[in-house]
Amino acid sequence: MNSGVRLIRNDRLTQAVDYAYAAVADAPVRSIWVAGACPLDLDGNTVAVGDYAGQTHQVMRNLVTALEGAGASLADVAKTTVYVASSRQSDLGSAWKVYREYMGEHDVPSTLLGVTVLGYNDQLVEVEAVAVIPG
């Protein structure tokens, strides 16, 4: 697939991270902003209550579906933000591990952060993304 995203690494910053430090999208491209993908099923119910990894799987499946609806894929993502409703790093790590499984070699710039609460009942994880595809 010919992605409009070029990931940038920098040897003056630590290489001990599993994401690129920047992403470049050379014009012309079509930009896609994806609302935060949530761990909801088709009926709007939160899945995998209490399970960070389980919710992240649903979030990522929903993100893939949202991207497909806009004519894009995970390979077209230029930036993500991963929200985890927890103050424990181990919970953030559980969500991040699943997120990385889906992103594979496409290690886009991302921010992982713990938050107090997310919008749906029993929601633990949310991922928002910006994607670009060749124009």
Assess whether pLDDT exceeds 70 at residue 31. Answer: yes
CA gap 110, 113 in Å, rounded: 10
Cα-based distances in Å from 12 to 24, 67, 83:
18, 33, 28
What is the pLDDT, as a whole number, of residue 3?
Answer: 74
Q: What is the mean pLDDT of the chain?
A: 94
Residue 78 DSSP label: E
Q: What is the mean pLDDT of residues 76-93?
A: 98
Assess whether pLDDT exceeds 70 at residue 2. Answer: no
- Percent of the chain's residues with pLDDT above 90: 77
Q: Taking a C-beta distance cutoff of 8 angstroms, is the pair 122, 50 a contact?
A: yes
Q: State the CATH number of the domain containing residue 15.
A: 3.30.1330.40
Give the global pTM. 0.91
Assess whether pLDDT exceeds 60 at residue 13. Answer: yes
Report the sign of the C-alpha dihedral through residues 114, 15, 4, 94, in that order: negative
Domain extent, residue 99, equals 5-134
Question: How many structural domains is the chain composed of?
Answer: 1
